[in-house]
Amino acid sequence: MGSCAAEITMIIDRLYERVRERGPICLGLDPSEDVYPPGFVGKFGSPAEAALRFCQEIAAATADLVACFKVQIAHFEALGVEGLGAYRDLLRELRKEGHIVIGDVKRGDIASTAAFYARAHLAGEFAADFLTLNAYFGGDALAPFLPYLAAGEHGLFVLVRTSNPSAGEFQDLRVEGRPLHEHVAEKVAAWGEGFRGRCGYSLLGAVVGANRAVLARLRARFPALFFLVPGYGAQGGRAEDVAPAFREGNGAVVVAARSILAAHRGKPQAAERFPRYAREAALAMAADLAACL
Amino acid sequence: MGSCAAEITMIIDRLYERVRERGPICLGLDPSEDVYPPGFVGKFGSPAEAALRFCQEIAAATADLVACFKVQIAHFEALGVEGLGAYRDLLRELRKEGHIVIGDVKRGDIASTAAFYARAHLAGEFAADFLTLNAYFGGDALAPFLPYLAAGEHGLFVLVRTSNPSAGEFQDLRVEGRPLHEHVAEKVAAWGEGFRGRCGYSLLGAVVGANRAVLARLRARFPALFFLVPGYGAQGGRAEDVAPAFREGNGAVVVAARSILAAHRGKPQAAERFPRYAREAALAMAADLAACL
């Protein structure tokens, strides 16, 4: 942390500092058989234990190279109650070690239900620093999360324009001459106005996929929105596609998961060296991004 | 079950039969301090145990009066890992007893992640008969759920037009002269075309709030969409508001939660008699709906 660390209180300022110090990688911890080295699960008592250990080893090998970790809860839900215990333990450990953790839960529901999700994922057992949310329900469904932002210790990334092939099916439909996702971004920016950090960005950011034109347009229109950018690497996005998300090398984090987690594929001694291969992949990604920013 | 029960295999046909036999109530099991009778939680070892027992007692008192149960996972997530154990146990018990259960999870993510949610909530520990889903990601994000529908044993309700005050903020934005939610409904109807049951409805239904005009318009345009209708009762919707969801008294279920769960409020001996009050409230709701259908 820099010399003015004592003044930094809001989590978005901490994230901004991390990007400045460690670069803009957001490492997606998405454990599954698809990314484990050969024979990995068999070493543990259960798939949930294997998932936890895999994430711990990857995190230990890469933490100094990433701005934050994003933990995909779906991978743990698929392992049932024990899997969610692993999710809880992973978030607790990472945050205790001082890492910034995004709980990738993409929840969204009416206000009375959203209040329970907010409690679960910002204050309860599954508390994360940031959460991803889906805004299809509109503003009143976001409202129950906002009291948890007041102390500056939590932030939100709301889905604006995602990175999957069908993303445009609804998100790009034109409303009054502009794509739907831009209307969503406008609302997110408005909801976040009272939550601006010293770094100039708001505690309410936006999920915007690795699409050069979309990122450039939204970056120009919404200077206070910090972007969480999925779609780099295994999903096809290149450094030049994500570059417009940034302003002076900051204001966004770029998600990579499989390209780092499964970097051991086809390499010698993958079973023992997978954390090292993950680290090498993170270094390569950092260099790739640095060349474009 | 009727005499042709042996021929009925698809879950949407089973739901249709239940509506015919027991009426169109979908009882929302949303346990929390807000709906428990006085002193309830103190009787149990933990809030999760209390939540499970409350739902069990309400379900036992009302099962013959409802078409299905909808279990809101957010209320269990807020109780952490033990809460999710209660969610798992509740779903298992209700389904084992032959009840139809909607897992109200409203998940939505890119396809590779959606595959894990599908596994968790249609095949894994948290398996339900139907799931609620959010379609903001578009069709490829729904695709991983469809293989689980092939055997006819599971169905989906996709968010189309919700019942909360801000629902219109995005869902009613006009695209090519029609509201966004109608475009979503069109896609849901198209995705569901290969999954039509004998009753004429598809395994892919739609969540449409208790809004008379919206329901009438969507019912006319989408004859094969079964509707899951929230917003009745505590949320302000009346029987006449939900009536247009139906065709010949079927094709929809109407959600009620708080109005039934907390029917004991201000009544004598609420702590002991809350299941009986819930039953009375369900009977009153059934009569209220029957008068309008």
Q: Helix/strand/coil (H, E, C) string of B209-236?
A: CCCHHHHHHHHHHCCCCCEEECCEHHHC
CA distance A212 to B288: 55
Chain B nearest CA to A67, separation (Å): 22
What confidence score (pLDDT) does residue A236 get? Answer: 86
Other beta carbons within 10 angstroms of residue B112's beta carbon come to: 21
Are B256 and B70 spatial neighbours (Cβ–Cβ below 8 Å)? Answer: no
CA distance B140 to B108: 11
CA dihedral sign, ordered B258, B259, B260, B262 = positive
Helix (H, G, I), strand (E, B) or coil at B68: strand
CA distance B5 to B14: 9
Identity of residue B200: G
Catalytic residue status for A106:
yes
Continuous segment of H or E residues that includes residue A121: none
Reduced 3-state DSSP string for A22-47: HCCEEEEECCCCCCCCCCCHHHCCCH
Give the single-character DSSP code of A129. Answer: S
What confidence score (pLDDT) does residue A233 get? Answer: 87
Reduced 3-state DSSP string for B226-263: CEEECCEHHHCECHHHHHHHCECCECEEEEECHHHHCC
Mean pLDDT (chain B) is: 96
Question: Model confidence over B148-196: pLDDT tens digits?
Answer: 999 999 999 999 999 999 999 999 999 999 999 999 999 999 999 999 9
- Per-residue pLDDT band for B233 (boundaries 50, 70, 90) equals confident
Which domains are delineated in chain A?
A: 5-287 (3.20.20.70)
What confidence score (pLDDT) does residue B268 get? Answer: 97
Are B55 and B275 spatial neighbours (Cβ–Cβ below 8 Å)? Answer: no
Chain B nearest CA to A134, separation (Å): 8
Question: Model confidence over A146-204: pLDDT tens digits?
Answer: 999 999 999 999 999 999 999 999 999 999 999 999 999 999 999 999 999 999 999 99
Is 0.80 topped by the overall pTM?
yes
What confidence score (pLDDT) does residue B3 get? Answer: 42
Q: Which residue of A has its CA nearest to B80?
A: A125
CA distance B227 to B210: 10
Q: Which residues of B touch A125 (CB under 8 A)?
A: 80-81
Flag whether residue A173 sits within 8 Å of chain B, measured between CB atoms.
yes
Residues A109-130: what's their mean pLDDT?
A: 97
Mutate: best of A46, A76, A87, A116, partner B, most B CBs <10 A: A116
Residues B233-253: what's their mean pLDDT?
A: 94
A110, A116, A127, A155, A222 from A146: Cα distances, Å: 14, 13, 15, 9, 20
Cβ neighbours of residue B248 under 8 Å, at least 6 residues apart? Answer: none
What confidence score (pLDDT) does residue A235 get? Answer: 80
**Pairwise CB contact (< 8 Å): B74 & A113:** yes
What is the residue whose two structure tokens read 């972007």? A227
Mean pLDDT (chain A) is: 96
Question: Model confidence over B28-38: pLDDT tens digits?
Answer: 999 999 999 99
A3, pLDDT greater than 80: no
Flag whether residue A121 sits within 8 Å of chain B, measured between CB atoms.
yes
- Per-residue pLDDT band for A8 (boundaries 50, 70, 90) equals low
Cβ neighbours of residue A45 under 8 Å, at least 6 residues apart? Answer: none
CA distance A25 to A164: 19
Flag whether residue B175 sits within 8 Å of chain A, measured between CB atoms.
yes
Pairs of residues, one from chain A and one from chain B, whose beta carbons lie less than 8 Å apart: 168
Question: Torsions phi, psi of A106, nearest 5?
Answer: 45, 40
Residue A237 or residue B189, greater confidence: B189
A66, pLDDT greater than 70: yes
What confidence score (pLDDT) does residue A4 get? Answer: 44
ipTM comes to 0.96
What is the residue whose two structure tokens read 């978030």? A91
Of B80, B136, B168, the CB nearest to A124: B80
